[in-house]
Structure 1
Amino acid sequence: MLRIMALNFRQYQAFYATIETGTVTGAAEALGISQPGISNLLAQLEGSTKLRLFERQRGRLVPTPEAEVLYREVETLVRGLDQVSQAVLDLQNQRVGQLQLAATHALAAGFLPNLIADFVADKPDLSISFQSQYSARIQEWVAAGLYEIGICEMPLLQDGLSHELYTFETFCALPQGSPLAKHEVLTPEILDGHPFIVLGADHMVTRRSAEAFHTSGATLKIRCQTDLFQNALNLVRQGVGATLVAPFARIDTDDMGYVLRPFRPKIMLDLMIVTAEGRPISALGQQFLSKIRAHLAEQ
Structure 2
Amino acid sequence: MNLRQIEVFRAVMTTGSTTHAARLLHVSQPGVSRLIRHLEIQLGVPLFERRNGRLVATPEAHTLQAEVDKVYRGVVHVRNVATHLRFGDHGTLRVLSSANTALQLVPRATANLLRRFQHSKVFFEALPTREIVQALVAEEADVAVSSAPLDHPVLDVREIGRWTLLCAVPKGHELVGKKFDLRTALGQRLITYSPEAPQSPVIDRWLNELGIARQVAVEVRSGYAACAMAAAGAGLAFVDELSARAHRAEDLELLKIPNAPKFAIYSVTNVNRPLSQLGQTFLELVKRELQVLLERR
Q: Where on the TM-score scale, by shorter chain, does this alignment land: which range? A: 0.7 to 0.9
How far apart, in 1, do the equivalents of 2:222 and 2:180 lie? 22
Are the equivalent residues in 1 in contact too, given 2:169–2:230 (CA < 8 A)?
yes
By how many angstroms is 1:80 displaced?
Answer: 1.3
Cα separation, partners in 2 of 1:124 and 1:39, compared to 1, 3 Å: farther
Q: How many residues align?
A: 292
By how many angstroms is 1:232 displaced?
Answer: 0.7
Q: Kindly provide the CA deviation profile for residues 5-25 of structure 1, in whole angstroms up to 9, marking residues without a partner as x.
A: xx4422221211232344546
Q: Kindly provide the CA deviation profile for residues 153-208 of structure 1, in whole angstroms up to 9, marking residues without a partner as x.
A: 4454433322113432122222234342314x633134252332122345331220
Q: Kindly provide the CA deviation profile for residues 116-135 of structure 1, in whole angstroms up to 9, marking residues without a partner as x.
A: 12112243443433221111
Give the match for residue 167 of structure 1.
Answer: 162
Q: Which moved more, 1:18-27 or 1:199-208?
A: 18-27
Give the match for residue 282 of structure 1.
Answer: 276
Percent identity, please: 25
Task: Name the aligned partner's letter for residue 163 of structure 2.
Answer: F
Cα separation, partners in 2 of 1:180 and 1:142, compared to 1, 3 Å: same
Structure 2, unpaired ranges of 5+: none
Matched, 1:199 2:193: yes
Cα separation, partners in 2 of 1:29 and 1:124, compared to 1, 3 Å: farther
Task: Name the aligned partner's letter for residue 262 of structure 1.
Answer: K
The SS at the match of 1:51 is coil
User: Which residue of the other structure, out of 117, 120, 125, is the alignment partner of 1:126?
Assistant: 120
Are the equivalent residues in 2 in contact too, given 1:11–1:44 (CA < 8 A)?
no
Structure 1, unpaired ranges of 5+: 1-6
Q: Which moved more, 1:232-241 or 1:151-160?
A: 151-160
Question: Any residues of structure 2 matched to 1:259-298 within 5 Å, and which?
Answer: 259-296=253-290
How far apart, in 1, do the equivalents of 2:169 and 2:5 lie? 75
1 or 2 for the larger relative contact order (CA 8 Å, sep ≥6)? 2
User: Cα RMSD (Å) of the superposition?
Assistant: 2.8
Task: Name the aligned partner's letter for residue 189 of structure 1.
Answer: R
Matched, 1:180 2:183: no
By how many angstroms is 1:214 displaced?
Answer: 3.9
How far apart, in 1, do the equivalents of 2:22 and 2:251 lie? 70
How far apart, in 2, do the equivalents of 1:254 and 1:270 lie? 23
The SS at the match of 1:107 is coil
Are the equivalent residues in 2 in contact too, given 1:197–1:232 (CA < 8 A)?
yes
With the length of structure 2 as denominator, give the TM-score of the two structures: 0.84
How far apart, in 2, do the equivalents of 1:125 and 1:53 lie? 40
Q: Kindly provide the CA deviation profile for residues 235-287 of structure 1, in whole angstroms up to 9, marking residues without a partner as x.
A: 12212232222222235477543232211231333443222234333333233
